[in-house]
Amino acid sequence: MTTSGPPAQIDPAAKGNPLLEEAGRRRTFAIISHPDAGKTTITEKLLLYGQALNEAGSVQGRQKRKATTSDWMDLEQRRGISVSSTVLRFEHAGTVINLLDTPGHSDFSEDTLRVMSAVDSAVILIDAAKGIEAQTLRLFEVARSRGIPLITFINKCDRPGIEPLELLDHIESTLDLLPTALTWPVGEPGDLKGIVDLREKNFHEFERSAPGGLAVASETIIDLESAPDGEAAWNTATEELSLLEAAGHEFDPGAVAEGISTPVLFGSALTNFGVELLLDTVIELAPPPSPRIDITDTPRPLESEFSGLVFKVQANMDPRHRDRNAFIRICSGKFDRGMKVVNARTGRPLTLNYASGTFGRQRETIEEAYPGDIVGVVGAADLQVGDTVFQGQELRYPPLPTLAPEQFIRVRNADARKHKQFTRALDQLAEEGVIHVLTQDGGRDPMPILGGVGRLQFEVATERMETEFNVQVKVDETDWKLARRTDEESAQEMREGRLAELRTRSDGVVFALFTSQFQHDRLVRDKPHLTLDHMV
């Protein structure tokens, strides 16, 4: 078994243009999964096969290993959840992989949505024993809404799980995506014999004794012709495969590129089985960066002057000193450290000096980067989520989508002397997109409403207000159940007719708040001309 994998296919038209060649060998993707499906494990294993982790890593305890790939905040560690996204970058067989982590919990779907704006494809990771779990469906829907290619990896095939045909049916019915198997497991769930690579027509034998730690497992690959026959497991797999063939679920790269079909691979991250095939599939099927559409609907060619999109801002990642990291997805041109760019929102110039790539907690300084890469700019006080930075002719990318809040609390400052810290903390959290801060007429409101899609967002917000800004807050529950984005004209009518409660978000977007779905539906029915949008 080789560990080099196939090199990324570079578009022949890019040959001879160094920037397009560099962009062409980038694969920028995220892994989306339910907590516990094995995202941390597979991330480690992808790094291992990408040879970004050496075997010395295997002596670390699991907790420590976990810390290398995520878990920046105490809260994450205490709750065992991943709140903040990490960007990992490594090179494999001439391909530069940018792997963006996403929080597993659906309460942080908005973070996932932002990450989706920065990637060109995503891997959906599913636990073979659980299928797509209700709480995670939302995360997958968010990924699907972007229309980017999705590759599915069914993990934990080394132990009892749902029958593979059933899993495919399940993916098709819940995600409305046509699954096409690229590999197929042989053996009863829990008694895996190996997987058939349906395209290479060979069989990868599963070795239960394979090292589960951080060592590359070499898989025994047998030609399908000489694979053992007669065994019950083989008979079942052959039957299943002929059923699949009859159903016409054939692999169609065009349908994958359009985001209507998902290739499916089976494996086991813990035992390093099928991971290399996944990495090879990402390199082969995940697309390289393509021109991004700007606010005037014009695609920005990759080779034009530098432009980037801020998709994430994270403050105070390092508790030892206050900092503010803005993560920029490079959309066009070459990035050189120290370059001067303009922030399209403010029109102000800024110098991208302290740019870093991230490997878990460790940062390394990045001197240059290309479309598809992510750079973390340290200390960028001027940058907010959704900002466009550019060189040359003025340019702006469309604002990042957000989800309408569904949960609301009211916060009060418990200590009047800390008024400044209270407002600074709220401004900071709003700029990072941690929560929506909704106030009366957008002004300074002593009791603003915080909106989000999940309660954990509030926990993160109040915890950070206390630990980073030293403000104690009092939290009150509210009766609001849903919010819809509206415009000034509709807001005026609703205000005058007392049809809904109006609040303004820190970026000026106006929301109508409702105490029940019924109240909202009745208003939509009675006043269909009002603007009430779900995506905001």
Interacting residue ranges for ligand G4P, rule: CB under 6 A: 33, 35-41, 62, 104, 155-156, 158-159, 268-270
- Please, which residue, 26 or 66, has the CB nearer to ligand G4P? 66
Q: Which conformational region is residue 316 in: left (phi greater than 0), alpha (psi within -120 to 50 degrees), or beta?
A: left
- Please, which residue, 66 or 520, has the CB nearer to ligand G4P? 66
Is 191:161 a contact under the CB 8 Å cutoff? Answer: no
Name residues whose C-beta falls within 8 Å of residue 229's C-beta, 6 or more positions apart in sequence. none
**Min. distance of Cβ 42 from ligand G4P in angstroms?**
7
- Going from the C-alpha of 131 to that of each of 127, 174, 241, 307, 319, the distances in angstroms are 6, 10, 20, 39, 38
**Min. distance of Cβ 81 from ligand G4P in angstroms?**
8
Measured in Å, how far apart are the chain's first and last C-alpha atoms?
48
Beta bridge partners of 431: none
**Min. distance of Cβ 46 from ligand G4P in angstroms?**
12
**Min. distance of Cβ 65 from ligand G4P in angstroms?**
9
- Please, which residue, 35 or 442, has the CB nearer to ligand G4P? 35
**Min. distance of Cβ 64 from ligand G4P in angstroms?**
11
- Please, which residue, 40 or 358, has the CB nearer to ligand G4P? 40
Lookup: tokens for 365: 């300084």
* Distance between CA atoms of residues 165 and 11, nearest Å: 36
* Distance between CA atoms of residues 122 and 29, nearest Å: 5
Is 311:118 a contact under the CB 8 Å cutoff? Answer: yes
**Min. distance of Cβ 498 from ligand G4P in angstroms?**
46
**Min. distance of Cβ 38 from ligand G4P in angstroms?**
3
- Please, which residue, 265 or 491, has the CB nearer to ligand G4P? 265
Name residues whose C-beta falls within 8 Å of residue 437's C-beta, 6 or more positions apart in sequence. 426, 427, 429, 430, 448, 449, 450, 505, 506
* Distance between CA atoms of residues 482 and 438, nearest Å: 13
Name residues whose C-beta falls within 8 Å of residue 277's C-beta, 6 or more positions apart in sequence. 182, 183, 195, 197, 204, 265, 267
- Please, which residue, 82 or 504, has the CB nearer to ligand G4P? 82
**Min. distance of Cβ 136 from ligand G4P in angstroms?**
10
- Please, which residue, 29 or 469, has the CB nearer to ligand G4P? 29
- Please, which residue, 89 or 156, has the CB nearer to ligand G4P? 156
Quick one: three-class SS letters along 157-189? CCCCCCCHHHHHHHHHHHHCCEEEECEEEECCC
Lookup: tokens for 362: 């460790």
